[in-house]
């Protein structure tokens, strides 16, 4: 298969495997999603979902969040790792949302990326999952799988995102980036498939004999 043929095959097969695409992080609205995505950095979605109910009891909107101390926030989010940094980011982004956006999470990447603790990936996930804006956030699963599947050279996550946006239809980006993550977790884990074992690898590369080494992000 050529690269575009592989992309088309992945698009079709993942939609068959994962016709329902739930948002992995529990949230109530764009603000709680933004905070949850921020907490998910170097932390599993499962652990974040265990922590956020207690955080929402403390404060589930920017106006209530800034009334709390950073230490109160940190005490709750500690299980997610990087707690001091994440707690400060949550408090300060809440303050900025109030002062500059009337307490409302903006629905564009540029404004989101200006918030403390919000990088391109976090902003992309937020606009995609909270507002339905087409975006293709690239996590470690996507960066790894797209190399194994021959869709990108793996130079960096920026290049992987650009390659995916070129290969896949824009109206599929929001679902597809989640479907690739789900596939990586269920069928093509880093320790479970080296480009030779999972169904998609075998379907697209039936003659592949040597394990594939990928570049980490």
Q: Is residue 54 among the annotated active site residues?
A: no
Q: Which of 68, 139, 175, 216 does the annotation list as catalytic?
A: 139
In the numeric block, which tokens belong to residue 172?
């599929």
Based on its alpha-carbon atoms, the radius of gyration of the chain, rounded to whole angstroms, reads 19
- pLDDT by residue (tens digit) across 159-203? 999 999 999 999 999 999 999 999 999 999 988 888 999 999 999
State the pLDDT at residue 214. 86
| Residue-range domains of the chain with CATH | 3-21+136-204 (1.10.1670.10), 30-131 (1.10.340.30)
- Pick from 182, 146, 181, 148: which is nearest to 167 by CA? 146
Catalytic residue check, 139 = yes
**Can you give the pLDDT at residue 215?**
87
The DSSP call for residue 6 is H
Size (the chain), residues: 217
- What is the dihedral sign for C-alpha 28, 29, 32, 38? positive
Supply angle C-alpha 166, 170, 175, rounded to 5: 115
pTM for the whole structure: 0.94
Q: Is 111 helix (H, G, I), strand (E, B) or coil?
A: helix
Q: For tokens 């793996």, name the residue.
A: 154
Among positive and negative, which fits the CA dihedral 132, 9, 40, 112?
A: negative
pLDDT band for 154, please (50, 70, 90 cuts): confident
Angle between helices 173-186 and 157-167 (to 10 degrees): 120
Predicted confidence (pLDDT) per residue in 12-23, tens digit: 999 999 999 999
DSSP sequence for 139-159:
-HHHHHHHHHTTS---S-HHH
Q: Which of 121, 163, 194, 215 is catalytic?
A: 121
């Amino acid at each position: 298969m050529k690269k575009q043929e592989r992309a088309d095959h992945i698009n079709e097969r993942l939609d068959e495997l994962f016709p329902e695409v739930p948002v992995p992080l529990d949230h109530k609205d764009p603000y709680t999603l933004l905070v949850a995505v921020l907490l998910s950095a170097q932390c599993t979605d499962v652990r974040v979902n265990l922590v956020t109910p207690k955080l929402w009891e403390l404060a589930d909107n920017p106006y209530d969040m800034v009334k709390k101390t950073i230490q109160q926030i940190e005490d709750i989010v500690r299980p997610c790792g990087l707690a001091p940094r994440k707690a400060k980011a949550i408090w300060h982004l809440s303050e900025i949302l109030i002062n500059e956006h009337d307490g409302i999470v903006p629905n564009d990447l540029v404004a989101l990326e200006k918030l403390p603790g919000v990088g391109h990936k976090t902003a992309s996930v937020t606009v995609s999952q909270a507002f339905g804006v087409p975006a293709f956030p690239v996590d470690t699963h996507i960066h790894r799988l797209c190399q194994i599947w021959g869709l990108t050279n793996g130079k960096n996550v920026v290049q992987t995102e650009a390659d995916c946006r070129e290969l896949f239809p824009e109206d599929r980006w929001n679902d597809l980036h989640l479907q690739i993550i789900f596939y990586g977790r269920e069928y093509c884990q880093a320790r479970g498939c080296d480009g030779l074992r999972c169904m998609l690898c075998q379907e697209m590369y039936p003659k592949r004999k040597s394990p594939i080494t990928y570049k980490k992000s």
